[in-house]
Each structure stands twice: as structure tokens, then as C-alpha cells.
Amino acid sequence: MTCSNNSIDAPFTIKWTHKLRLTNSSFTEGGVLDSLLATLQPLKILVVVDDGVTSNQPFLNSLHKWCERTGAICDEPLIVIGGEAAKNDFNVVNSVLEAINHNNLCRKSCIIVIGGGAVLDAVGFAASTAHRGLPIIRMPSTSLSQGDSGVGVKNGVNYFGKKNFVGVFDPPYAVINDSSLLQSLDKTQWRSGLSEAIKVALIKDESLFEQIEANSKLLLGRDINAMVSVLQQSAKLHLRHITDGGDPFERLDARPLDFGHWAAHKLEQLTNYTISHGDAVAIGLSIDVACSVRLGFLDNSVAMRIVSLLDSLGFPTNHSELTNTEFLTGIEEFRQHLGGQLTLLMLKGIEEPTEIHRLDHEVVRQVINELR
Ligand SMILES: NC(=O)c1ccc[n+]([C@@H]2O[C@H](COP(=O)([O-])OP(=O)(O)OC[C@H]3O[C@@H](n4cnc5c(N)ncnc54)[C@H](O)[C@@H]3O)[C@@H](O)[C@H]2O)c1
Ligand SMILES: [Zn+2]
């Protein structure tokens, strides 16, 4: 602590352990969920479930059996609408706050949320703000949320038509990636986590990129072991970025994990969120990889290799809304969301990111023409 006549600077540190558990059967007696709760000892537990998960009957049966034998559970699980609709208004946030109030949950209680990234974001926001923060256990239910957003520390909803306009940084008590949840995903949601895995591999881990390349047929064919292996590594890379990257709450200008995301976020907005986040990221990556070539950073053969991989996994790498005149405003909106100067990531090679602070509209227009 430093003190002078009229100023005191007293630094403090909060110790936090980010806990990720990997399983294919969360509800086994004495399994991962039971042991996390044995440590947390919550007075009451509220379970919130994404309505998309209701198509996974075996998972729901196990959940119901677990609820029956576990004390402290409030009523029936609260089922909320899944997908971006969960974030586009405050209905999900309000229903969770109402359930917290109605069931008298306090800060010694706990919420278990089972859902895709959108439901995790909205329910996490409600949990973080009620009583200034209830512990939450996340069980991400999509490939994207198991490999990326679910292990993050961000929560929030969209407002004024802008992505994640209202939200907080608040780490969950723990994250459980249960691979049995992936079985009920449709084709688009199945592949969704792979574009984020490719993103993080391009920035941080060439061997993961090679693994996805080598297993692209298995991944496309819904091989669960191939998928779990990629998602686990993606989750670990995302998690390590948060715990060891020196900027868990994104106070700095650079946001390496948002590679390809300025375009992805704008495209989601222009399509009224009918495009999945994973597909939007695949297109965003294709654009930023092609920009990296145009700006003289990246060899065209590497860019082709990346775009071909996305293509072979079934991802779109182009969209009719890219020629919408509004599309390029995404660059400025991205800057505003981050605050400060524009910082975008480009690639010099795989595992060789570089930052830029300006991206000319003309460069992006040329790239969009090329992708067509
Ligand atoms: N907080 C963060 O750090 C962060 C990071 C990246 C993305 N995100 C957010 O995550 C959201 C995207 O999440 P997502 O890709 O997980 O998709 P999603 O949450 O939008 O869900 C997609 C669809 O899958 C359904 N679904 C969920 N689980 C299912 C299951 N097991 N079986 C069948 N259907 C299921 C949902 O009901 C929904 O219809 C976006 O809002 C994005 O902004 C947040
Ligand atoms: Zn993303």
C-alpha cells in the first residue's frame, strides 16, 4: 500500500480457481456434480435448462433421477427458451430472477444451468446480479459452449440491438462438460464448436489445427470421440488464456480470442441471429485470413488451407449479407464495444498472430469479392 497526504493506493488480489470437469455422465452418484456440490454445500439449488436440451431424453431422465435423490432442489427445473432469443430480451433474465426470489435463494445457494452459450450468458447474468452474485455451475450443452464460451468468465444479454451490450465478468463456480449432451445437437450445432476450435488453434496451437485437419471426416461424420478430443483441447486453451493470459477481464485493447469476430458479430446482427455463432465465426475467420493475405502478412497457400478445412467441415465461408453496405460498420462497432483504439488480429502464419489498428474498408471489399 502506498499512502500520501491525500491519496491511498491499496492493491488487493482475489484468489480464484477456475474449475473444469470433463465427463460423459454428470449425474452418477458420487460423480463430478455430487463432488462439486459436496464442497460448495449450497442451501438450495435451482436448476435451469435450455429448452433445446429437452430433445435429449436420456440426459433428462438422468437429470430427473438426480433431482429426486438430491436434497435442496427447488421445484421442477426451470425450462427457458434456448438460442439467441434467450439474450435478445430480458425474459430469461427475469424468469431466473423471479425463481431466485420465489424460492428464496441466497448467496449460499447455487444455480445449475444446462444450456447453449446463449442460455449460459443470460442465466449467468441473472445469477451474477441477484444478491450481487450467486454461485453458478455451468453445464454447457452445445459443442461451441463446451469448447469456448462455457469455460469463459463473461455473462450478458443483447440490448439496443447490440450484442452483449449489458453484462458482467464473473467466473462460474465450476464448469462441467458432459459429452452426452452433444448427442442431440443438429448438424449446425454439432459443427459449431469446431470453428471456435480452429480459431484458438490458429492463434495458439498448430498441433490442434493439424488434428482437426487429420480428423475432418470423422468430425463431419459425428464421431463423438474425435469431437470430444477437439473440444477438450479447445476448452483448455480458452481456459488457459483466461487464467494465464494476464487479462482475464479483458481490460486491455487486444482480444486475441475474438479473432474473426468483428465480422461474425455484425453478420449475426444483420441476419437477425438466424445464422449460428459457429457459422458466423467460420465466415469471419475466412474474411480475416483473406485480409491477412491482402495486407501482406500471410502466404496465400496457408489461407487456402484454413478456408478448405472450414469448408470440409461443412461450414459456410461466404454470405449474401457481406455485400450489405452496413456490413463494414461492424469494424467500428467492434472498436466501440472494446473501447479505446481498434485492435484486430491478423495472421502471419499458424500460431503467429499479429495485431493491426486499422482495417481499410476497401481491403475488406476486395476480400469479400474474392470469397464470392
Ligand atoms: N460468454 C462468452 O464468453 C461467449 C463466447 C462465445 C460465444 N458466446 C455466445 O454464445 C451464444 C452461442 O451459443 P451456442 O453456439 O452454444 O448456441 P446457442 O446457445 O445459441 O444454442 C443454439 C441452439 O441449440 C439448442 N441446444 C442447446 N443445447 C442443445 C442440446 N444439447 N441438444 C439440442 N439442442 C440444443 C438451443 O436451444 C438453441 O436452439 C452466442 O450468444 C454468443 O454470443 C458467449
Ligand atoms: Zn465466439
| Alpha carbon of 266 to ligand 1 centroid (Å) | 17
189: cell is 450445432
Tell me the β-bridge partners of 140: 115
| Alpha carbon of 148 to ligand 2 centroid (Å) | 7
Whose CA is closest to atom 22 on ligand 1?
83
Q: If DSSP codes are grouped into helix, strand and coil, which group holds residue 106?
A: coil
Ligand 1 in reach of 154 Cβ (< 6 A)? yes
pLDDT tens track, the chain, 372 positions: 888 888 999 999 888 999 999 999 999 999 999 999 999 999 999 999 999 999 999 999 999 999 988 877 777 899 999 999 999 999 999 999 999 999 999 999 999 999 999 999 999 999 999 999 999 999 999 999 999 989 999 999 999 888 888 999 999 999 999 999 999 999 999 999 999 999 999 999 999 999 999 999 999 999 999 999 999 999 999 999 888 887 788 777 667 788 999 999 999 999 988 999 999 999 999 999 999 999 999 999 999 999 999 999 999 999 999 999 899 999 998 888 777 889 999 999 999 999 999 999 999 999 999 887
| Alpha carbon of 354 to ligand 1 centroid (Å) | 29
Give the DSSP letter string of 272-327.
Answer: TT-S-HHHHHHHHHHHHHHHHHHTTSS-HHHHHHHHHHHHHTT-----GGGGSTTT
Q: What is the pLDDT of residue 51?
A: 98
Whose CA is closest to atom 3 on ligand 1?
149
Whose CA is closest to atom 28 on ligand 1?
141
d(CA 200, CA 281): 12
Ligand 1 in reach of 258 Cβ (< 6 A)? no
d(CA 175, CA 33): 10
Q: What is the pLDDT of residue 177?
A: 98
| Alpha carbon of 197 to ligand 2 centroid (Å) | 10
**What is the position in ligand 1's atom list of the atom closest to the CA of 163?**
43
Ligand nearest to the CA of 268: 1
Q: Which of 244, 235, 241, 247 is nearest to 208 (CA)?
A: 235
Q: Which of 19, 54, 89, 4 is nearest to 242 (CA)?
A: 19
**Locate cell 496465400: which residue?**
300
Whose CA is closest to atom 2 on ligand 1?
149
d(CA 17, CA 26): 20
Q: What is the pLDDT of residue 244?
A: 83
Strand-strand pairing, 20-23 and 174-178: parallel
Q: Which of 367, 349, 174 is nearest to 262 (CA)?
A: 367
d(CA 350, CA 205): 8
Q: Which of 152, 104, 160, 97 is nearest to 129 (CA)?
A: 97
Q: What is the pLDDT of residue 252?
A: 72
Q: What is the pLDDT of residue 74?
A: 77
* Segment (H or E) for 192: helix 187-204
d(CA 94, CA 91): 5
Q: Which of 261, 259, 285, 278 is nearest to 367 (CA)?
A: 285
Q: How many CB atoms lie within 10 A of CB 29?
A: 10
Domains and CATH numbers, the chain: 20-184 (3.40.50.1970), 187-371 (1.20.1090.10)
Q: Which of 370, 365, 211 is nearest to 303 (CA)?
A: 370
| Cα 154 → chain centroid | 8
Ligand 1 in reach of 145 Cβ (< 6 A)? yes
Inter-residue contact 316 to 283 (CB < 8 Å): yes
Q: Which of 268, 249, 243, 252 is nearest to 144 (CA)?
A: 268
**What is the position in ligand 1's atom list of the atom closest to the CA of 116?**
19
Q: Which of 316, 333, 329 is nearest to 372 (CA)?
A: 316
Q: If DSSP codes are grouped into helix, strand and coil, which group holds residue 165?
A: strand
Predicted TM-score (pTM) of the model is: 0.93
| Alpha carbon of 260 to ligand 2 centroid (Å) | 9
| Cα 28 → chain centroid | 26
| Alpha carbon of 83 to ligand 1 centroid (Å) | 6
Whose CA is closest to atom 25 on ligand 1?
52
Amino acid at residue number 131: H
d(CA 289, CA 287): 6
**Locate cell 465466415: which residue?**
283
Inter-residue contact 182 to 24 (CB < 8 Å): no
Backbone angles phi, psi at 290, to 5 degrees: -65, -35
Alpha-carbon separation of residue 29 from 19, 38, 70 (angstroms):
20, 12, 10
